[in-house]
Structure 1
Amino acid sequence: MKNPVVGITSFCDCEHSKKYTKIRCSYINAVYRAGGTPIIIPPFDTQKHLQEYIDLIDALVLSGGEDLAPASYGETKVFELKNINPDRDKWEIALFKEAYKAQIPILGICRGMQLINVSLGGSLYQDIDHQLDCGFSHLPLDLEKRENREYVNHKINIIKDTQLDKILSEDDLTVNSHHHQAIKEIAQSLNISAKSECGLIEAIENKKGSFLMGLQWHPEDLIDNSRSFINLFSELIKVAKTRKDNFCEKK
Structure 2
Amino acid sequence: MDAPLIGLTTYRQQAAWGVWHTRADLLPTEYAAAVEAAGGIPLLLPPMSLPGAADRVVSRIDALVVSGGADVDPGQYGAEPHERTSGWQPERDVWELALLSAAEETGLPVLGICRGMQLMAVHGGGTLDQHTPDLVGHETHSPGGDAYGTVEVATTVGSRLATLVGAQVEVSCHHHQSVATHPGFTAVARASDGTVEAMEAAGDRFCLAVQWHPETRVEVGLMAGLVEAARAHAVRAGD
Answer whether TM exceeds 0.5 for this pair.
Answer: yes
Structure 2 CA distance for aligned equivalents of residues 209 and 161 of structure 1: 14
Question: What is the 5 A alignment of 1:53-72?
Answer: 53-72=57-76
- State the alpha-carbon separation in 2 of the partners of residues 241 and 192 from structure 1: 26
Tell me which stretches of 4 or more aligned residues in structure 1 moved more than 3 Å. Answer: 45-48
Contact 1:60 1:106 in 2 (8 A): yes
Normalised by the length of structure 1, the TM-score is 0.89
CA contact (8 A) 2:114 2:213 kept: yes
- In structure 2, do the counterparts of structure 1 residues 135 and 82 end up closer, same or farther at CA, with 3 Å as the change threshold? closer
Is 1:175 the counterpart of 2:171 in the alignment? Answer: yes
Q: CA RMSD in A?
A: 1.6
- Quote the Cα distance in structure 1 between the aligned partners of 2:79 and 2:214: 30
Residue matched to 1:12: 12
**1:33 and 2:37 matched:** yes
**1:47 and 1:94 in contact (8 A); partners too:** no
SS in 1 for 2:7: strand
Which residue does the alignment assign to 1:85?
89
User: Which residue does 1:122 correspond to in 2?
Assistant: 126
Cα distance in structure 1, aligned partners of 2:82 and 2:89: 17
Report the AA paired with residue 154 of structure 2.
N
CA shift at 1:136, angstroms? 4.5
Q: Tell me, yes or no, if structure 1 residue 158 matches structure 2 residue 155.
A: yes
Name the SS for the 2:171 alignment partner.
strand
* Maintained 8 Å contact 1:134/1:198: no
Structure 2 equivalent of residue 226 of structure 1: none
Q: Which amino acid aligns with 1:203?
A: A
User: How far off its partner does 1:47 sit?
Assistant: 3.7
Provide the residue aligned with 2:142 in structure 1: 139
Deviation at 1:49, TM superposition (A): 1.8
* SS of residue in 2 equivalent to 1:184: strand
Shift of 1:139: 0.7
Match of 2:40, as an amino acid? G
For structure 2, list consecutive stretches of 5 or more residues without a partner in the other structure.
none
Aligned residue number for residue 237 of structure 1: 227
Structure-2-length-normalised TM-score: 0.93
Question: Is 1:212 paired with 2:207?
Answer: yes
Tell me how far apart the structure 1 counterparts of residues 236 and 60 of structure 2 sit (CA, whole Å): 16
Q: Distance in 2 between matches of 1:35 and 1:74?
A: 39
Residues 202, 215 of structure 1: 8 Å contact kept = yes
Distance 1:80 1:160 in 2: 35
Contact between 2:178 and 2:196, CA under 8 Å: does it hold in 1? yes
> Per-residue displacement from partner, 1:115-145 (whole Å, max 9, x unpaired)?
1111001110011123x1344431114xxxx
Give the paired residue count. Answer: 235
Give the C-alpha shift of residue 80 in structure 1: 4.9
Q: What pairs up with 1:35-50 in 2 under 5 angstroms?
A: 35-50=39-54
